[in-house]
Amino acid sequence: LDVSMDTWSHFHACLVSIWLHRFYIYSAVAFGISLWIVIQFTTTRTKRKVTEPKSHGNPSSPGGAADKLGNGCAPPQAQEVHVAGVKIFYGSQTGTAKRFAKALAEAVTSLNLPVEVINMGDYDPEDGLAEETSSRNICVFLVATYTEGQPPESAAWFCKWLEEAANDFRVGKSFLQGLRYAVFGLGNSAYVDHYNTVGRRMDRWLWMLNASRIMTRAEGDCNVAQSKHGSIEADFEAWKAKFLTRLQALCKGEKKPCSGKCKKGKCKSSGKQSKESSDHEHEMSEHENTEAEELFETSSEEEAGVTDSVIDVEDLGNIMGHMKKAKVLLLDGDVECHSGYHLVYFVCQFLQAKLNCLMVFALFSGYKLIGSHSGVKLCRWTKSMLRGRGGCYKHTFYGIESHRCMEATPSLACANKCVFCWRHHTNPVGTEWRWKLDQPEVILQEAMEKHQNMIRQFKGVSGVRAARLEEALAVKHCALSLVGEPIMYPHINSFVRLLHQHGISTFLVTNAQFPEEIRRLEPVTQLYVSVDASTKESLRRIDRPLFKDFWQRFLDSLKALAEK
């Protein structure tokens, strides 16, 4: 028993001692772990320094060649892939752009990069370009300018889609964010008014969708007397050399050559500008009459001072005092060309040419105007179903085929300025009819003609089904919800009857501000009344109605709907 007690006393004393000196023990353990980490880090770093010259220091050595990636950069253990490959798109009429595309592909292949040469006529941009935003590919566009400044036939649909996407408010400004691109245009400066317009427009449309340029747009000139390098082939070779240099830099993970705050070709980054920048400034001095462009690696969201500058037609009076000044500044070249000033300048020109507000609206939104107050436009679901894809909710709910639907309105004007307006208030507003009245027969005839002409433009477009294209020419449904307030049109009943007589069903949408017109409305296939808010104050803030008695009109419109 004594032995057991002595053993326990000794053990207890040890435990007490360890507890009393626990902080020293903790410190010793922490020091040991820290020392181990330092030794491991130093050993790893030393090994890396020893092995790097063997795999990278001599690119021609067998080890270095074996470790290289397909893009000629670093081994996968040490560095991520910055450029996965290059896709070269060409739009050619005589074959020059196609020849240049193949030559560029051969040069890129020499850098151990995968290359794909694509004819724009065989490519569906709606799906394809969106995938390129995350593919880490570099997209190169070689496109020629054909007769009257139009794209070649093979590139017509590609350009049309790109233009509509860039100008359609329903398409997000960041739709192509992440896509990296370069543009080389082919043209002839002998045709001064249309010199390289397709390349310039394509560059701008891509930028508007927030794609990022990797280098300045270049222009090849078939006019040897004016060509910068003596011929269009020499222009291309000079640009190709710059492109390959830039591509190699991107493969190494090089950052942007400037701060991303460039405005219309003026680099604001500190330090020396690149040779490319200097070359472009010289080019701009030779083409002073060309449109202003953002010419460095930058996307639209990165541009300083660029905002959503679409101006409501009703608010034009508030900026009239600034128009003359803005126009003079632009013509004299005393200010940088922000998009807002461009808009003011364009409005000045329209007013001087005595164009009405609806023509301004059509320019900004891509509508086909009819007479003095109506419009028609292709819906994105119409284009989707032409390709054999899904339709809108009307197809799901009611079996209406979207490719046989015509989106139109007999009144582009509206009595609200809703904060969620998908047209960003580019259409005119008003509380009463103030336009020259067009007859229903004229509106329907022109709407059908313009709609069919827009449908015919899809002939030969990649993915469009011939059978559906033929069916689309025969309109079977009309969505009177394009924009504005269709029920404002004084002859709306006659117009609806006319549509029904032609075997066309009708869906009409109203914003609940015209209760008497709702009561007088003859039966339509389906009537919608928009209910955007539940209280007077929230309706005021959300719909921003022009009528002072907007709340009573709203309630009366719902009562009128119930009476239907």
167-200 pLDDT per residue, tens = 876 677 788 888 999 999 999 888 888 888 999 9
Give 50's contacts (C-beta < 8 A, 6+ positions apart). none
* CA separation, residue 277 to residues 65, 204, 227, 267, 467 (Å): 34, 18, 19, 8, 50
- Which of 261-270, 384-393, 409-418, 439-448 ranks highest by mean pLDDT? 439-448
pLDDT, residue 65, reads 39
Please, which residues bridge with residue 429 across strands? 414
For 231, how many CA atoms within 13 A lie in the half-sphere containing its CB?
Answer: 4
For 403, how many CA atoms within 13 A lie in the half-sphere containing its CB?
Answer: 21
Give yes or no: residues 98 and 240 share one domain: yes
Q: Is residue 386 part of a domain?
A: yes
Task: Tell me the C-alpha distance between 305 and 311, whole Å.
Answer: 16
Q: Is residue 267 part of a domain?
A: no
Which tokens belong to 339? 């998009």
Quick check: 410 and 479 in contact, CB under 8 A? no
Q: Is residue 222 part of a domain?
A: yes
| 260 has pLDDT over 50 | no
Beta strands in 58-136 (DSSP E): 85-91, 115-119
Give yes or no: residues 510 and 377 share one domain: yes
| 8 has pLDDT over 70 | yes
N residues, the chain? 564
pLDDT, residue 304, reads 38
**Mean pLDDT of the residues in the chain:** 76
Q: Is residue 266 part of a domain?
A: no
Beta strands in 18-127 (DSSP E): 85-91, 115-119
Tell me the per-residue pLDDT of 378-433, one tens digit each, with 9 for 90 and over. Answer: 888 888 888 888 888 888 888 889 999 999 999 888 888 888 876 655 567 788 88
Pairing of strands 137-144, 115-119: unpaired
Quick check: 15 and 23 in contact, CB under 8 A? no
Count of structural domains, the chain: 2
Domain final residue pick, 223, 252, 281? 252
Q: Is residue 395 part of a domain?
A: yes
Which tokens belong to 334? 């005393």
Which tokens belong to 480? 């009177």
pLDDT, residue 148, reads 80
Pairing of strands 405-409, 374-377: antiparallel
Helices (H) and strands (E) in the chain, counts: 20, 12
Give yes or no: residues 385 and 502 share one domain: yes
Task: Tell me the C-alpha distance between 136 and 167, whole Å.
Answer: 26
DSSP state of 29: H
Using a pLDDT cut of 70, give the percent of the chain over it: 71
DSSP state of 258: S
Give yes or no: residues 247 and 371 share one domain: no
Give yes or no: residues 228 and 89 share one domain: yes
Give yes or no: residues 238 and 367 share one domain: no
Task: Tell me the C-alpha distance between 80 and 264, whole Å.
Answer: 33
Which tokens belong to 535? 């209280």
Q: Is residue 477 part of a domain?
A: yes
- Which band of pLDDT confidence, cut at 50, 70 and 90, is reported for residue 143? very high
The CATH number of the domain holding residue 239 is 3.40.50.360
- Which band of pLDDT confidence, cut at 50, 70 and 90, is reported for residue 561? very high
Q: Which residue from 141, 115, 133, 111 is spatially nearest to 248, judged by alpha carbons? A: 111
84 versus 22: which is more confidently predicted? 84
Segment holding 236, helix H or strand E: helix 232-251
Q: Is residue 351 part of a domain?
A: no
DSSP state of 523: P
15: number of Cβ within 10 Å: 10
Segment holding 219, helix H or strand E: strand 218-221
Mean pLDDT, to the nearest integer, of 203-213? Answer: 91
Domain final residue pick, 190, 223, 252? 252
101 versus 26: which is more confidently predicted? 101
Tell me the per-residue pLDDT of 481-491, one tens digit each, with 9 for 90 and over. Answer: 867 889 999 99
Please give the full DSSP string across 344-356, using - where no structure is assigned. Answer: HHHHHHHHHTT--
Give yes or no: residues 220 and 365 share one domain: no
pLDDT, residue 352, reads 41
Q: Which residue from 287, 288, 298, 299 is spatially nearest to 187, judged by alpha carbons? A: 287
Tell me the per-residue pLDDT of 229-251, one tens digit each, with 9 for 90 and over. Answer: 888 899 999 999 999 999 988 88
The CATH number of the domain holding residue 488 is 3.20.20.70
392 versus 362: which is more confidently predicted? 392
Tell me the per-residue pLDDT of 51-70, one tens digit each, with 9 for 90 and over. Answer: 444 433 343 334 443 344 44
Task: Tell me the C-alpha distance between 97 and 233, whole Å.
Answer: 10
Please give the full DSSP string across 113-136, using - where no structure is assigned. Answer: --EEEEEGGG--HHHHHHHHTSS-
| 289 has pLDDT over 50 | no
492: number of Cβ within 10 Å: 23
Give 82's contacts (C-beta < 8 A, 6+ positions apart). 71, 73, 136, 250, 251, 252, 253
Q: Is residue 292 part of a domain?
A: no
- Which band of pLDDT confidence, cut at 50, 70 and 90, is reported for residue 79? low
| 255 has pLDDT over 80 | no
Q: DSSP 3-state helix, strand, coil percentages of the chain (rounded to 5)?
A: 50, 10, 40
Mean pLDDT, to the nearest integer, of 356-382? Answer: 71
Task: Tell me the C-alpha distance between 69 and 71, whole Å.
Answer: 5
Quick check: 130 and 183 in contact, CB under 8 A? no
DSSP state of 221: E
Q: What is the 3-state secondary structure (H, E, C) of 386-444?
A: HCCCCCCHHHHHHCCCHHHEEEEECCCCECCCCCCCCCCCCCCECCCCCCCCCCHHHHH
Give yes or no: residues 234 and 362 share one domain: no
Domain final residue pick, 252, 269, 304? 252
Please, which residues bridge with residue 142 across strands? 90, 184
Range of the domain at 98: 85-252
**In the block, which residue shows the tokens 């941009």?**
125
Please, which residues bridge with residue 88 across strands? 117, 140
